[in-house]
Structure 1
Protein backbone atom coordinates (compact mmCIF):
# COMPACT_ATOMS: atom_id res chain seq x y z
CA UNK A 1 0.00 0.00 0.00
CA UNK A 2 2.72 2.50 0.88
CA UNK A 3 5.15 4.05 -1.59
CA UNK A 4 8.86 3.26 -1.29
CA UNK A 5 11.13 4.99 1.16
CA UNK A 6 13.86 6.89 -0.66
CA UNK A 7 16.35 8.95 1.28
CA UNK A 8 16.32 12.74 0.91
CA UNK A 9 19.35 12.48 -1.38
CA UNK A 10 17.43 10.18 -3.72
CA UNK A 11 14.34 12.38 -3.98
CA UNK A 12 13.74 14.63 -6.97
CA UNK A 13 12.53 17.77 -5.20
CA UNK A 14 12.14 19.75 -8.44
CA UNK A 15 8.33 19.76 -8.36
CA UNK A 16 6.48 19.08 -5.11
CA UNK A 17 2.67 18.97 -5.01
CA UNK A 18 0.59 19.79 -1.93
CA UNK A 19 -2.99 18.62 -2.34
CA UNK A 20 -6.08 20.67 -1.62
CA UNK A 21 -9.47 18.93 -1.88
CA UNK A 22 -11.44 22.13 -2.44
CA UNK A 23 -9.25 23.33 -5.29
CA UNK A 24 -9.30 19.84 -6.76
CA UNK A 25 -13.07 19.64 -6.96
CA UNK A 26 -13.62 17.43 -3.93
CA UNK A 27 -11.83 14.75 -1.94
CA UNK A 28 -12.79 11.98 -4.35
CA UNK A 29 -10.83 13.73 -7.10
CA UNK A 30 -7.54 14.11 -5.22
CA UNK A 31 -6.00 10.70 -5.93
CA UNK A 32 -6.74 11.03 -9.64
CA UNK A 33 -5.21 14.50 -9.80
CA UNK A 34 -2.11 13.19 -8.03
CA UNK A 35 -1.81 10.41 -10.61
CA UNK A 36 -2.08 12.90 -13.48
CA UNK A 37 0.37 15.31 -11.84
CA UNK A 38 2.98 12.61 -11.35
CA UNK A 39 2.67 11.80 -15.06
CA UNK A 40 3.57 15.44 -15.69
CA UNK A 41 6.69 15.43 -13.55
CA UNK A 42 5.67 15.84 -9.90
CA UNK A 43 8.34 14.10 -7.81
CA UNK A 44 6.97 14.56 -4.29
CA UNK A 45 3.40 14.68 -2.95
CA UNK A 46 2.08 15.97 0.35
CA UNK A 47 -1.48 15.13 1.38
CA UNK A 48 -3.05 18.06 3.21
CA UNK A 49 -6.63 18.13 4.46
CA UNK A 50 -7.10 20.09 7.66
CA UNK A 51 -10.73 19.24 8.37
CA UNK A 52 -10.88 15.43 8.17
CA UNK A 53 -10.62 13.31 11.30
CA UNK A 54 -7.64 10.97 11.50
CA UNK A 55 -9.54 7.85 10.42
CA UNK A 56 -10.97 9.45 7.29
CA UNK A 57 -7.64 11.14 6.56
CA UNK A 58 -5.85 7.80 6.85
CA UNK A 59 -8.26 6.29 4.30
CA UNK A 60 -7.51 9.13 1.88
CA UNK A 61 -3.78 8.77 2.50
CA UNK A 62 -3.99 5.06 1.73
CA UNK A 63 -5.74 5.83 -1.58
CA UNK A 64 -3.00 8.28 -2.61
CA UNK A 65 -0.30 5.86 -1.45
CA UNK A 66 -1.79 3.20 -3.70
CA UNK A 67 -1.67 5.60 -6.66
CA UNK A 68 2.00 6.31 -5.94
CA UNK A 69 3.03 2.70 -5.37
CA UNK A 70 5.82 1.74 -7.74
CA UNK A 71 6.45 5.31 -8.93
CA UNK A 72 9.27 6.12 -6.51
CA UNK A 73 7.41 9.33 -5.55
CA UNK A 74 7.37 9.79 -1.76
CA UNK A 75 4.16 10.70 0.03
CA UNK A 76 4.21 13.09 2.97
CA UNK A 77 1.21 13.66 5.22
CA UNK A 78 0.61 17.07 6.71
CA UNK A 79 0.60 17.29 10.52
CA UNK A 80 -0.72 13.76 11.14
CA UNK A 81 2.10 12.03 12.94
CA UNK A 82 -0.08 9.14 14.11
CA UNK A 83 -1.21 8.49 10.54
CA UNK A 84 2.36 8.77 9.27
CA UNK A 85 3.56 6.23 11.82
CA UNK A 86 0.67 3.84 11.25
CA UNK A 87 0.85 3.84 7.45
CA UNK A 88 4.60 4.24 7.15
CA UNK A 89 4.39 7.63 5.40
CA UNK A 90 6.63 10.66 5.58
CA UNK A 91 5.57 13.67 7.66
CA UNK A 92 5.50 17.42 7.10
CA UNK A 93 4.90 19.81 9.98
CA UNK A 94 4.54 23.56 10.40
CA UNK A 95 5.95 25.77 13.10
CA UNK A 96 2.68 25.54 15.08
CA UNK A 97 2.27 21.77 14.72
CA UNK A 98 4.11 19.02 16.60
CA UNK A 99 7.48 20.25 17.88
CA UNK A 100 10.23 19.28 15.46
CA UNK A 101 12.30 17.45 18.08
CA UNK A 102 9.26 15.51 19.25
CA UNK A 103 8.32 14.67 15.67
CA UNK A 104 11.83 13.47 14.88
CA UNK A 105 11.90 11.34 18.02
CA UNK A 106 8.53 9.74 17.25
CA UNK A 107 9.05 9.19 13.53
CA UNK A 108 10.85 5.98 12.52
CA UNK A 109 14.33 6.55 11.10
CA UNK A 110 13.41 5.41 7.58
CA UNK A 111 10.72 8.10 7.26
CA UNK A 112 11.49 11.65 6.17
CA UNK A 113 10.47 14.79 8.02
CA UNK A 114 9.69 18.11 6.36
CA UNK A 115 9.35 21.43 8.18
CA UNK A 116 7.89 24.79 7.16
CA UNK A 117 10.18 27.77 7.76
CA UNK A 118 9.70 31.47 7.12
CA UNK A 119 12.61 33.23 8.84
CA UNK A 120 16.25 32.82 9.86
CA UNK A 121 15.50 32.42 13.57
CA UNK A 122 13.72 29.14 12.87
CA UNK A 123 16.78 27.82 11.01
CA UNK A 124 18.99 29.05 13.86
CA UNK A 125 16.88 26.97 16.27
CA UNK A 126 17.32 23.97 14.02
CA UNK A 127 21.06 24.56 14.04
CA UNK A 128 21.05 24.47 17.84
CA UNK A 129 18.98 21.29 17.91
CA UNK A 130 21.25 19.62 15.38
CA UNK A 131 24.30 20.65 17.39
CA UNK A 132 22.59 19.01 20.37
CA UNK A 133 22.33 15.73 18.48
CA UNK A 134 18.99 15.91 16.67
CA UNK A 135 18.88 14.56 13.14
CA UNK A 136 17.92 17.53 10.95
CA UNK A 137 14.72 17.64 8.94
CA UNK A 138 15.08 16.14 5.47
CA UNK A 139 13.59 19.14 3.67
CA UNK A 140 12.38 22.64 4.48
CA UNK A 141 9.39 24.34 2.91
CA UNK A 142 10.24 28.03 2.55
CA UNK A 143 7.50 30.58 2.05
CA UNK A 144 5.27 32.06 1.15
CA UNK A 145 7.10 33.37 -1.88
CA UNK A 146 4.02 35.49 -2.51
CA UNK A 147 0.88 35.83 -0.42
CA UNK A 148 -1.74 33.32 -1.48
CA UNK A 149 -5.37 32.52 -0.56
CA UNK A 150 -4.52 28.82 -0.06
CA UNK A 151 -2.54 29.64 3.07
CA UNK A 152 -3.78 32.63 5.05
CA UNK A 153 -1.89 32.18 8.35
CA UNK A 154 1.30 33.87 7.17
CA UNK A 155 2.22 37.47 7.82
CA UNK A 156 4.38 38.43 4.87
CA UNK A 157 5.67 37.35 1.51
CA UNK A 158 9.36 36.42 1.48
CA UNK A 159 10.03 37.21 -2.16
CA UNK A 160 12.47 35.37 -4.40
CA UNK A 161 15.74 37.19 -3.63
CA UNK A 162 17.11 39.68 -1.14
CA UNK A 163 17.50 39.68 2.67
CA UNK A 164 15.07 37.26 4.33
CA UNK A 165 13.94 35.91 0.96
CA UNK A 166 13.47 32.34 -0.16
CA UNK A 167 16.96 32.38 -1.70
CA UNK A 168 18.47 33.80 1.49
CA UNK A 169 16.80 31.17 3.69
CA UNK A 170 17.69 28.36 1.27
CA UNK A 171 21.37 29.29 1.48
CA UNK A 172 21.11 29.28 5.28
CA UNK A 173 19.49 25.83 5.20
CA UNK A 174 22.27 24.50 3.00
CA UNK A 175 24.75 25.38 5.74
CA UNK A 176 23.04 22.56 7.68
CA UNK A 177 22.94 20.34 4.61
CA UNK A 178 19.15 20.62 4.31
CA UNK A 179 17.53 21.00 0.88
CA UNK A 180 14.52 23.27 0.57
CA UNK A 181 11.55 23.94 -1.67
CA UNK A 182 9.80 27.26 -2.28
CA UNK A 183 6.05 27.37 -1.63
CA UNK A 184 3.30 29.94 -1.70
CA UNK A 185 2.28 31.73 -4.86
CA UNK A 186 4.53 29.56 -7.02
CA UNK A 187 3.46 29.41 -10.66
CA UNK A 188 4.79 29.51 -14.19
CA UNK A 189 5.32 33.24 -13.64
CA UNK A 190 8.13 32.74 -11.10
CA UNK A 191 9.31 29.14 -11.56
CA UNK A 192 12.28 30.16 -13.71
CA UNK A 193 13.33 32.87 -11.24
CA UNK A 194 13.16 30.38 -8.40
CA UNK A 195 15.38 28.00 -10.36
CA UNK A 196 18.11 30.64 -10.11
CA UNK A 197 18.01 30.53 -6.31
CA UNK A 198 19.42 27.98 -3.85
CA UNK A 199 16.17 25.99 -3.52
CA UNK A 200 16.10 22.38 -4.65
CA UNK A 201 12.60 22.69 -6.02
CA UNK A 202 9.26 24.43 -6.20
CA UNK A 203 6.14 23.46 -4.30
CA UNK A 204 2.71 24.15 -5.75
CA UNK A 205 -0.91 23.84 -4.71
CA UNK A 206 -3.40 25.69 -6.91
CA UNK A 207 -1.15 25.74 -9.99
CA UNK A 208 -1.80 22.01 -10.36
CA UNK A 209 -4.79 21.19 -8.15
CA UNK A 210 -7.02 23.78 -9.88
CA UNK A 211 -5.68 23.17 -13.39
CA UNK A 212 -7.97 21.88 -16.12
CA UNK A 213 -5.19 19.49 -17.13
CA UNK A 214 -2.97 18.61 -14.13
CA UNK A 215 -0.53 16.65 -16.29
CA UNK A 216 0.13 19.57 -18.62
CA UNK A 217 0.27 22.04 -15.73
CA UNK A 218 2.83 19.91 -13.92
CA UNK A 219 4.85 19.39 -17.09
CA UNK A 220 4.97 23.15 -17.75
CA UNK A 221 6.17 23.88 -14.22
CA UNK A 222 8.68 21.04 -14.20
CA UNK A 223 10.11 22.10 -17.56
CA UNK A 224 10.46 25.73 -16.49
CA UNK A 225 12.26 24.78 -13.29
CA UNK A 226 14.52 22.06 -14.60
CA UNK A 227 15.41 23.59 -17.98
CA UNK A 228 16.33 27.06 -16.75
CA UNK A 229 20.06 27.68 -16.31
CA UNK A 230 20.81 28.14 -12.65
CA UNK A 231 23.62 29.80 -10.80
CA UNK A 232 25.74 27.87 -8.35
CA UNK A 233 23.98 28.34 -4.96
CA UNK A 234 27.24 27.86 -3.03
Structure 2
Protein backbone atom coordinates (compact mmCIF):
# COMPACT_ATOMS: atom_id res chain seq x y z
CA UNK A 1 0.00 0.00 0.00
CA UNK A 2 1.26 3.49 -0.87
CA UNK A 3 1.36 5.94 2.02
CA UNK A 4 0.91 9.63 1.31
CA UNK A 5 2.69 11.97 3.65
CA UNK A 6 0.73 14.57 5.56
CA UNK A 7 2.07 17.39 3.38
CA UNK A 8 1.35 15.50 0.18
CA UNK A 9 -2.42 15.95 0.00
CA UNK A 10 -3.95 17.13 -3.26
CA UNK A 11 -5.13 20.52 -1.91
CA UNK A 12 -1.67 21.27 -0.54
CA UNK A 13 0.01 20.22 -3.76
CA UNK A 14 -2.37 22.41 -5.77
CA UNK A 15 -1.50 25.31 -3.48
CA UNK A 16 2.21 24.58 -3.95
CA UNK A 17 1.80 24.55 -7.72
CA UNK A 18 -0.24 27.76 -7.63
CA UNK A 19 2.53 29.46 -5.64
CA UNK A 20 5.02 28.49 -8.37
CA UNK A 21 2.93 30.02 -11.15
CA UNK A 22 5.11 32.52 -13.01
CA UNK A 23 3.37 35.01 -15.34
CA UNK A 24 6.32 34.97 -17.76
CA UNK A 25 6.34 31.17 -17.91
CA UNK A 26 2.57 31.18 -18.37
CA UNK A 27 2.88 33.61 -21.29
CA UNK A 28 5.43 31.35 -23.02
CA UNK A 29 3.42 28.20 -22.30
CA UNK A 30 0.17 29.71 -23.53
CA UNK A 31 1.80 30.51 -26.87
CA UNK A 32 2.30 26.75 -27.17
CA UNK A 33 -1.24 25.95 -26.09
CA UNK A 34 -0.47 25.04 -22.45
CA UNK A 35 -2.50 26.79 -19.76
CA UNK A 36 -0.10 26.80 -16.82
CA UNK A 37 2.84 28.87 -15.58
CA UNK A 38 4.89 26.39 -13.57
CA UNK A 39 8.55 25.98 -14.44
CA UNK A 40 8.97 22.34 -15.49
CA UNK A 41 12.23 21.99 -13.57
CA UNK A 42 10.44 22.94 -10.36
CA UNK A 43 7.60 20.58 -11.24
CA UNK A 44 10.10 17.74 -11.65
CA UNK A 45 11.62 18.61 -8.27
CA UNK A 46 8.23 18.12 -6.61
CA UNK A 47 7.85 14.79 -8.40
CA UNK A 48 11.30 13.72 -7.21
CA UNK A 49 10.25 14.50 -3.64
CA UNK A 50 6.98 12.61 -3.93
CA UNK A 51 8.39 9.60 -5.79
CA UNK A 52 5.93 7.12 -7.36
CA UNK A 53 2.47 7.37 -5.78
CA UNK A 54 -0.13 6.03 -8.16
CA UNK A 55 -3.24 6.76 -6.09
CA UNK A 56 -2.09 10.33 -5.55
CA UNK A 57 -1.44 10.60 -9.29
CA UNK A 58 -5.03 9.56 -9.99
CA UNK A 59 -6.32 12.23 -7.63
CA UNK A 60 -4.12 14.89 -9.23
CA UNK A 61 -5.28 13.86 -12.70
CA UNK A 62 -8.91 14.14 -11.63
CA UNK A 63 -8.44 17.86 -10.80
CA UNK A 64 -8.29 18.66 -14.55
CA UNK A 65 -5.55 21.22 -13.76
CA UNK A 66 -2.76 21.16 -16.35
CA UNK A 67 0.14 21.52 -13.90
CA UNK A 68 -1.40 18.92 -11.58
CA UNK A 69 -1.84 16.53 -14.48
CA UNK A 70 1.79 16.97 -15.50
CA UNK A 71 2.81 16.16 -11.94
CA UNK A 72 0.50 13.14 -11.98
CA UNK A 73 2.23 11.80 -15.08
CA UNK A 74 5.60 12.02 -13.33
CA UNK A 75 4.55 10.10 -10.20
CA UNK A 76 2.14 7.51 -11.62
CA UNK A 77 2.94 3.88 -12.34
CA UNK A 78 2.52 3.47 -16.12
CA UNK A 79 1.94 -0.29 -15.97
CA UNK A 80 -0.91 0.16 -13.50
CA UNK A 81 -3.25 1.72 -16.09
CA UNK A 82 -5.65 -0.34 -18.16
CA UNK A 83 -5.96 0.20 -21.89
CA UNK A 84 -9.37 1.82 -21.36
CA UNK A 85 -7.99 4.20 -18.74
CA UNK A 86 -5.16 5.33 -21.01
CA UNK A 87 -7.54 5.79 -23.93
CA UNK A 88 -9.82 7.98 -21.81
CA UNK A 89 -6.88 9.99 -20.47
CA UNK A 90 -5.53 10.61 -23.95
CA UNK A 91 -8.92 11.84 -25.18
CA UNK A 92 -9.08 14.27 -22.24
CA UNK A 93 -5.57 15.61 -22.88
CA UNK A 94 -5.95 18.71 -24.98
CA UNK A 95 -2.98 20.66 -23.54
CA UNK A 96 -0.03 19.75 -25.79
CA UNK A 97 2.44 19.16 -22.93
CA UNK A 98 0.01 16.85 -21.10
CA UNK A 99 -0.62 14.96 -24.34
CA UNK A 100 3.12 14.68 -25.03
CA UNK A 101 4.07 13.51 -21.52
CA UNK A 102 1.18 11.04 -21.40
CA UNK A 103 2.31 9.40 -24.63
CA UNK A 104 6.05 9.48 -23.95
CA UNK A 105 6.25 8.93 -20.19
CA UNK A 106 3.28 6.65 -19.65
CA UNK A 107 1.83 4.99 -22.76
CA UNK A 108 5.22 3.99 -24.20
CA UNK A 109 5.98 2.18 -20.92
CA UNK A 110 2.61 0.45 -20.83
CA UNK A 111 1.97 -3.13 -21.93
CA UNK A 112 -0.95 -1.67 -23.91
CA UNK A 113 1.22 0.58 -26.11
CA UNK A 114 0.86 -1.43 -29.32
CA UNK A 115 -2.89 -1.95 -28.87
CA UNK A 116 -3.32 1.78 -28.33
CA UNK A 117 -1.12 2.61 -31.32
CA UNK A 118 -3.44 0.61 -33.53
CA UNK A 119 -6.52 2.00 -31.80
CA UNK A 120 -5.49 5.62 -32.20
CA UNK A 121 -3.69 5.60 -35.54
CA UNK A 122 -6.79 6.13 -37.72
CA UNK A 123 -8.93 7.93 -35.15
CA UNK A 124 -11.26 10.60 -36.49
CA UNK A 125 -9.94 13.00 -33.83
CA UNK A 126 -6.69 14.33 -35.28
CA UNK A 127 -5.18 14.96 -31.83
CA UNK A 128 -5.85 11.35 -30.84
CA UNK A 129 -4.49 10.17 -34.20
CA UNK A 130 -1.31 12.16 -33.60
CA UNK A 131 -0.68 9.96 -30.56
CA UNK A 132 -0.99 6.88 -32.76
CA UNK A 133 1.57 8.38 -35.10
CA UNK A 134 3.87 9.23 -32.18
CA UNK A 135 3.82 5.58 -31.10
CA UNK A 136 4.46 4.56 -34.71
CA UNK A 137 7.54 6.81 -34.82
CA UNK A 138 8.87 4.95 -31.79
CA UNK A 139 8.40 1.63 -33.57
CA UNK A 140 9.98 2.93 -36.78
CA UNK A 141 13.10 3.83 -34.82
CA UNK A 142 13.30 0.92 -32.37
CA UNK A 143 11.09 -2.02 -33.43
CA UNK A 144 10.26 -1.76 -37.13
CA UNK A 145 9.68 -5.50 -37.68
CA UNK A 146 6.08 -6.00 -38.75
CA UNK A 147 5.53 -2.41 -39.86
CA UNK A 148 4.66 -1.72 -43.49
CA UNK A 149 7.14 1.12 -43.96
CA UNK A 150 6.46 1.63 -47.71
CA UNK A 151 2.76 1.70 -46.84
CA UNK A 152 3.41 4.38 -44.22
CA UNK A 153 5.23 6.44 -46.84
CA UNK A 154 2.25 6.01 -49.19
CA UNK A 155 -0.09 7.30 -46.49
CA UNK A 156 2.18 10.21 -45.59
CA UNK A 157 2.54 11.16 -49.24
CA UNK A 158 -1.25 11.18 -49.70
CA UNK A 159 -2.30 12.91 -46.48
CA UNK A 160 0.54 15.01 -45.03
CA UNK A 161 -0.21 18.31 -46.76
CA UNK A 162 -3.84 18.51 -45.64
CA UNK A 163 -3.47 16.92 -42.19
CA UNK A 164 -4.47 19.05 -39.15
CA UNK A 165 -1.50 20.66 -37.41
CA UNK A 166 -0.83 18.24 -34.53
CA UNK A 167 -1.28 15.20 -36.76
CA UNK A 168 0.78 16.81 -39.52
CA UNK A 169 3.73 17.34 -37.16
CA UNK A 170 3.60 13.69 -36.07
CA UNK A 171 3.31 12.43 -39.65
CA UNK A 172 6.17 14.65 -40.73
CA UNK A 173 8.29 13.30 -37.86
CA UNK A 174 7.46 9.79 -39.01
CA UNK A 175 8.56 10.67 -42.55
CA UNK A 176 11.87 11.98 -41.21
CA UNK A 177 12.34 8.96 -38.92
CA UNK A 178 11.85 6.52 -41.78
CA UNK A 179 14.47 8.40 -43.80
CA UNK A 180 16.88 8.49 -40.87
CA UNK A 181 16.47 4.93 -39.63
CA UNK A 182 16.00 3.03 -42.91
CA UNK A 183 18.65 3.75 -45.59
CA UNK A 184 16.83 1.66 -48.21
CA UNK A 185 13.86 4.04 -48.00
CA UNK A 186 15.85 7.25 -47.52
CA UNK A 187 15.75 8.40 -51.13
CA UNK A 188 11.98 8.02 -51.26
CA UNK A 189 11.49 9.81 -47.92
CA UNK A 190 13.68 12.68 -49.14
CA UNK A 191 11.77 12.87 -52.43
CA UNK A 192 8.39 12.99 -50.66
CA UNK A 193 9.60 15.75 -48.37
CA UNK A 194 11.05 17.78 -51.23
CA UNK A 195 7.87 17.48 -53.28
CA UNK A 196 5.40 18.27 -50.50
CA UNK A 197 7.52 21.05 -48.89
CA UNK A 198 5.69 20.73 -45.55
CA UNK A 199 7.37 22.95 -42.91
CA UNK A 200 10.01 24.01 -45.45
CA UNK A 201 9.81 27.63 -44.33
CA UNK A 202 9.29 26.95 -40.62
CA UNK A 203 11.40 29.46 -38.63
CA UNK A 204 14.24 27.52 -37.02
CA UNK A 205 16.56 29.09 -34.42
CA UNK A 206 20.32 28.94 -35.06
CA UNK A 207 21.94 25.64 -34.08
CA UNK A 208 18.57 23.84 -34.20
CA UNK A 209 17.56 21.24 -36.76
CA UNK A 210 14.83 22.28 -39.17
CA UNK A 211 11.57 20.26 -39.02
CA UNK A 212 11.56 20.21 -42.84
CA UNK A 213 11.96 16.47 -43.40
CA UNK A 214 14.75 16.51 -46.01
CA UNK A 215 16.85 18.93 -43.94
CA UNK A 216 16.11 16.90 -40.80
CA UNK A 217 17.05 13.59 -42.42
CA UNK A 218 20.25 14.92 -43.97
CA UNK A 219 21.42 16.58 -40.78
CA UNK A 220 20.86 13.58 -38.52
CA UNK A 221 22.44 11.19 -41.03
CA UNK A 222 25.42 13.55 -41.31
CA UNK A 223 25.86 13.49 -37.54
CA UNK A 224 25.58 9.71 -37.45
CA UNK A 225 28.20 9.36 -40.14
CA UNK A 226 30.55 11.72 -38.32
CA UNK A 227 30.08 9.80 -35.09
CA UNK A 228 30.72 6.49 -36.85
CA UNK A 229 33.87 7.86 -38.50
CA UNK A 230 35.19 9.08 -35.17
CA UNK A 231 34.54 5.88 -33.25
User: Could you tell me the TM-score, scaled by structure 2's length?
Assistant: 0.32
Q: Which has the higher strand share?
A: 1
User: Could you tell me the TM-score, scaled by structure 1's length?
Assistant: 0.32
Flag the structure with larger Rg. Answer: 2
More contact order relative to length (CA 8 Å, sep ≥ 6):
1
